[in-house]
Structure 1
């Protein structure tokens, strides 16, 4: 009996030490971020993360402990079982650990259950890996698995070989009791609240908190919570206080500035530029040579200089743009058709008033469940990779941007007017491959990212140049904006720079150009702003406000995985929703602003839950 209990204790300790070793691997892989925090925080991350490591190690002990019940007469089968069990668990956990290394670099948060949605479209999921060092990562998986499995096998072989027969009357009460006792470390102790992410968050430095998280625990908790939880986890105020506070941000619109012609119905083209961050737009203070065409066009059209994306993924940005709906930090409404069915949308509002609506994308619209949303929102026609010739499938994602934009130009020549056309680019998505000679040399992710934007910039510039020659140009408004920003390029700017995106209005229907709009606004405000210009009621778009209204309240909210940003003209804050810490703050924000940010999160998530 003593040998069996000693084995279980040693086996759990081994897993705990492995989790600490994987944390060291995380620090080494992200050494640049690790060097930005104090070395004392490295040790603090390991210390605070220990409870979560023990918690998941205890989960892994449940099956071996219960299986011990059946070793009273024979133990050889148990050794074989534990060798197989250990090998499988080691492989799964190592795969999560290594995948998380690269996803954290790209997304800025630890892997969770949301990543499973992208496996529904494996072609696109594989394409996203194109910029990652796949071969070194696979080699790392093999090395870490070999080390982990070997260590576990040594413990299993040496300990189980010492097992002797024990009476059944001892086995029956002891091992179920031990399994039951594992509930204590699984829940993180005897405290009231069970183990959760906030239990390991300890710092106002986000990277230190992320490093403390056990990736396997985080992934499994996310899968189960996203599947079964229908509650709002962000409750800070009682009653209707959150709704009342948020309501003050959306006053009834008053007189607005009319910047497009109303002589007859205006055609609308929205070009949603994948990952287009203000950091690569010289006209917005970004790198000057990456998007020369956009910089030139900025001096011709109406440039909105203070627009912030609502979320950090395409599926969230699409809903923010077309439905004026804010992103959620832990969920994506586009994944749940029964919820998106209740959303208003630009294509729906214009379709009902006679506009012919179409959507163009060179990849698979099934990616991230976007197609179901498009079909619900009254697009008359959806063009995706299935509508292009095989010779045009010249990237891992599908058809490159110049191919799609040329298709749009040709189709619009025959299109019934007025039309509303949405174009979603893809070439500036990972793996950042382009079908033209390299303009910005460099093989690292940052230079590939910049080069891809240079290509898309040229493709859009050519599209606008050709559009100016068309008879429909004089009666058309073209809006260029991003689906979301991006961590790249790393210019060592505060977190909000990742969400600062360009928005430019062009076209013959534009009556105010050239010019700039400097009002601080959100991506979600596009819907109400456009509908006001078209004299279409926007009352259903409760999370969208007219940027050009005289009484527009200047603010922007953005959400990322378990965090939020709150922008005001006099400053900003970035909040970690798990630990409740303000991780970044700048300017002279009023004392009420942190509460207003939390109220917005609570109210918007409550709206999401109710839909």
Structure 2
């Protein structure tokens, strides 16, 4: 009789933890179903990357980590309440708090999963830091969603409201049916530690030296499939967690000391013979201009939104940019130019600051780079230039205005400064309005001082809005990326037709370059072809020339300054490609999520060296047409690995030490 009563009391004690069982079972089922639905949308890529059983098992394992986090919190917080659970009122509050907590957690999991398809379609990965970064710009984000993903938006809102309603009904019913139980404190003291230890083991997910993290689940060569193995709440939480490590984001790629990193970078041929006179600014060196000019040229950078090589016929893309194809015959055309990243701020960071890419947010957004951070504008303002940023949208977007004003730009023109624009879309005025403003500003400039202007286009941005009647559409419906690219090229052609007839043409150097390609995705750990972008330097006395060497956006700032006739101290480790007696380094670097790629020309063709978090270094043969990465079984030479690791780790050192700046003398 006593044994039966004891067992009954034990079961009643365990029944207090029914919410844990219900939550774990329901959420694991929910996340698995959502994962399989997403995998069904990309079945071909999943099947080519991993077998379905491993995909499901690894996914459940990743979900157990998230369920463990949500379970551990109330276990630790509510454990003190267990001392009074022999009282019915304490039991009611115990159950109520557990239930409300788990319903909130389930709602978060549901919301993140239902938000994933649209994000996945746009960025080829589960929600990451961009998911919360862009919440600061509701107008632009909502417009993009309503025009490009309206179906998913309304499905997500409606299903979330239904989820909240059903949860509320279930909660009220469970409250009405609650019955207090006979509880023994000694059983609670035994059960709670077991649950805590089990939950901690589920969170750790491995007996290895380090607990599981996203890199642990990166088991395929397709970064998107690796993200599908996880769940969206976990990927978002990990992105938030990584914010505190931003200053050292790329330290994960090697174990080199600061001194070893600096020495490795300085060893590359185009830097090897230079002097670095500032101990606190280890990459600052003096660059002597290749072009000797009595009066330096104006410099204009036209940063084209999402204009990747995908849309340029001579670079292996579609025939959507006839004006760019015509203009390339009049200047320096970069055949093998690569972006450093996949977002606009990364393109700004590389083209305007020559800063190397990292896993962290772009320095355009980071707090430590809002002042005393190198930009072309800072250097040129010291040389007597007037410096200006012209944008068609709101300049506060992506923190651009703050970064620019704090680092050498003397004026900022944005959407509020256009009188009677021809067309205004979700992202601001049209490219024609922007480039007309640029032409007006250059025509009216005071010739007593040279000009530096950055103009950033936006028409080729989802939802791809531009004025009617300007182009013959490439396809139907109107608002597609191909039509937007064709319009952007049309606006560019109109601008240069006017510029070449203007008074400022003969003393102005123009750079036309993309910030990145649109929707960078692919079934490789780094989709190299989607980093390929066009670049063109023309104007003044520039003679036609084709740059066939592999080059990076970070090579553009020193090259521009040199061609314009500016000799100056610079911290950038990009190469001045205008120097006549220096061979191009023939390399480019690119950051894709947590993966760092180093593309370099080799005697047998381009090779991609890949650095991953907590993974061994890999090397691939790269073929651009059709794109393919073939794994090289032999490990890269140690000297090569050290060089790549040094360049990958360098930006974290420079940012952390506030050393990417030329000290004022």
Fold-level similarity (TM above 0.5):
yes
Which position in structure 2 is the counterpart of 1:350?
380
Which position in structure 1 is the counterpart of 2:204?
187
Which position in structure 1 is the counterpart of 2:534?
502
* Secondary structure, counterpart of 1:252 in structure 2: helix
Deviation at 1:116, TM superposition (A): 2.0
Which position in structure 2 is the counterpart of 1:227?
244
Which position in structure 1 is the counterpart of 2:626?
none
Quickly say closer, same or farther: Cα 1:475–1:384, change in 2 above 3 A: same
Structure 1 stretch displaced more, 597-606 or 151-160? 151-160
Q: Check conservation: 2:423, 2:430, Cα contact below 8 A.
A: yes
Q: Check conservation: 1:48, 1:201, Cα contact below 8 A.
A: no
Aligned CA RMSD, in angstroms, stands at 3.4
Which position in structure 2 is the counterpart of 1:331?
361
Quickly say closer, same or farther: Cα 1:575–1:396, change in 2 above 3 A: same
Residue 34 (structure 1) aligned with residue 46 (structure 2): yes
Quickly say closer, same or farther: Cα 1:421–1:489, change in 2 above 3 A: same
| Unaligned residue ranges in structure 1 (runs of 5+) | none
Q: Check conservation: 1:201, 1:578, Cα contact below 8 A.
A: no
Q: Check conservation: 1:565, 1:572, Cα contact below 8 A.
A: no
* Secondary structure, counterpart of 1:378 in structure 2: coil
Which position in structure 2 is the counterpart of 1:132?
148
Structure 1 stretch displaced more, 586-595 or 254-263? 254-263
Which position in structure 2 is the counterpart of 1:22?
34
Q: Check conservation: 2:526, 2:595, Cα contact below 8 A.
A: no
For 1:438-495, what per-residue CA distance to the aligned partner results, in whole angstroms no more than 9, with x for missing partners? 6122349xx7111101001010100000111111111111110011123479899981
Deviation at 1:295, TM superposition (A): 1.0
* Secondary structure, counterpart of 1:185 in structure 2: helix
Which position in structure 1 is the counterpart of 2:489?
457
Counterparts of 1:339 and 1:409, CA distance in 2: 31
Q: In the alignment, which of 458, 465, 476 is matched to residue 442 of structure 1?
A: 476
Counterparts of 1:451 and 1:272, CA distance in 2: 19
* Secondary structure, counterpart of 1:335 in structure 2: coil
Counterparts of 1:141 and 1:575, CA distance in 2: 40
Which position in structure 1 is the counterpart of 2:649?
602
Residue 279 (structure 1) aligned with residue 315 (structure 2): no
* Secondary structure, counterpart of 1:311 in structure 2: coil
Alignment map for 1:74-93 (pairs within 5 Å): 74=89, 75-76=91-92, 81=97, 84-93=100-109
Quickly say closer, same or farther: Cα 1:138–1:81, change in 2 above 3 A: farther
Deviation at 1:63, TM superposition (A): 4.9
Quickly say closer, same or farther: Cα 1:89–1:557, change in 2 above 3 A: same
Which position in structure 2 is the counterpart of 1:122?
138
Q: In the alignment, which of 164, 170, 181 is matched to residue 180 of structure 2?
A: 164
Quickly say closer, same or farther: Cα 1:282–1:537, change in 2 above 3 A: same
Counterparts of 1:327 and 1:229, CA distance in 2: 12
Deviation at 1:235, TM superposition (A): 4.2
Alignment map for 1:400-479 (pairs within 5 Å): 400-417=430-447, 418-437=450-469, 439-443=473-477, 448-479=480-511
Quickly say closer, same or farther: Cα 1:583–1:148, change in 2 above 3 A: farther
Deviation at 1:540, TM superposition (A): 2.3
* Secondary structure, counterpart of 2:16 in structure 1: helix
Q: Check conservation: 2:377, 2:387, Cα contact below 8 A.
A: yes
Deviation at 1:190, TM superposition (A): 4.5
Counterparts of 2:95 and 2:521, CA distance in 1: 51
Which position in structure 2 is the counterpart of 1:293?
323
Return the index of the structure with the highest Cα Rg: 2
Which position in structure 2 is the counterpart of 1:591?
636
Which position in structure 1 is the counterpart of 2:226?
209
Q: Check conservation: 1:360, 1:404, Cα contact below 8 A.
A: yes
Quickly say closer, same or farther: Cα 1:540–1:474, change in 2 above 3 A: closer
Deviation at 1:50, TM superposition (A): 2.3
* Secondary structure, counterpart of 1:357 in structure 2: strand
Deviation at 1:555, TM superposition (A): 0.7
Q: In the alignment, which of 576, 580, 604 is matched to residue 615 of structure 2?
A: 580
Residue 533 (structure 1) aligned with residue 536 (structure 2): no
Quickly say closer, same or farther: Cα 1:34–1:156, change in 2 above 3 A: farther
Q: In the alignment, which of 243, 246, 252 is matched to residue 262 of structure 2?
A: 243
Counterparts of 2:37 and 2:171, CA distance in 1: 23
Counterparts of 1:556 and 1:516, CA distance in 2: 17
Deviation at 1:259, TM superposition (A): 8.2
Structure 1 stretch displaced more, 351-360 or 455-464? 351-360
Counterparts of 2:73 and 2:420, CA distance in 1: 50
Deviation at 1:608, TM superposition (A): 2.9
Deviation at 1:373, TM superposition (A): 1.1
Counterparts of 1:5 and 1:79, CA distance in 2: 8
Q: Check conservation: 2:520, 2:531, Cα contact below 8 A.
A: no
Q: Check conservation: 1:320, 1:524, Cα contact below 8 A.
A: yes
Quickly say closer, same or farther: Cα 1:259–1:542, change in 2 above 3 A: closer
Quickly say closer, same or farther: Cα 1:456–1:423, change in 2 above 3 A: same
Which position in structure 2 is the counterpart of 1:524?
554
For 1:336-363, what per-residue CA distance to the aligned partner results, in whole angstroms no more than 9, with x for missing partners? 2322423221111111112111110011
Quickly say closer, same or farther: Cα 1:166–1:335, change in 2 above 3 A: farther
Deviation at 1:133, TM superposition (A): 1.9
Q: In the alignment, which of 407, 412, 433 is matched to residue 382 of structure 1?
A: 412
Deviation at 1:309, TM superposition (A): 0.7
For 1:190-247, what per-residue CA distance to the aligned partner results, in whole angstroms no more than 9, with x for missing partners? 5432231122222233333221122211211221231366544414133344433333
Counterparts of 2:517 and 2:474, CA distance in 1: 20
Structure 1 stretch displaced more, 68-77 or 411-420? 68-77
Which position in structure 1 is the counterpart of 2:119?
103
* Secondary structure, counterpart of 2:69 in structure 1: helix
Counterparts of 1:257 and 1:610, CA distance in 2: 26
Quickly say closer, same or farther: Cα 1:117–1:206, change in 2 above 3 A: closer
Which position in structure 1 is the counterpart of 2:7?
none
Q: Figure out how many residues of one structure are paired with residues of the other and give that number.
A: 604
Counterparts of 1:553 and 1:32, CA distance in 2: 38
Which position in structure 1 is the counterpart of 2:588?
556
* Secondary structure, counterpart of 2:537 in structure 1: strand
Quickly say closer, same or farther: Cα 1:484–1:170, change in 2 above 3 A: same
Deviation at 1:49, TM superposition (A): 2.7
Q: In the alignment, which of 329, 332, 343 is matched to residue 302 of structure 1?
A: 332
* Secondary structure, counterpart of 1:270 in structure 2: strand
Residue 62 (structure 1) aligned with residue 72 (structure 2): yes
Counterparts of 1:376 and 1:480, CA distance in 2: 24
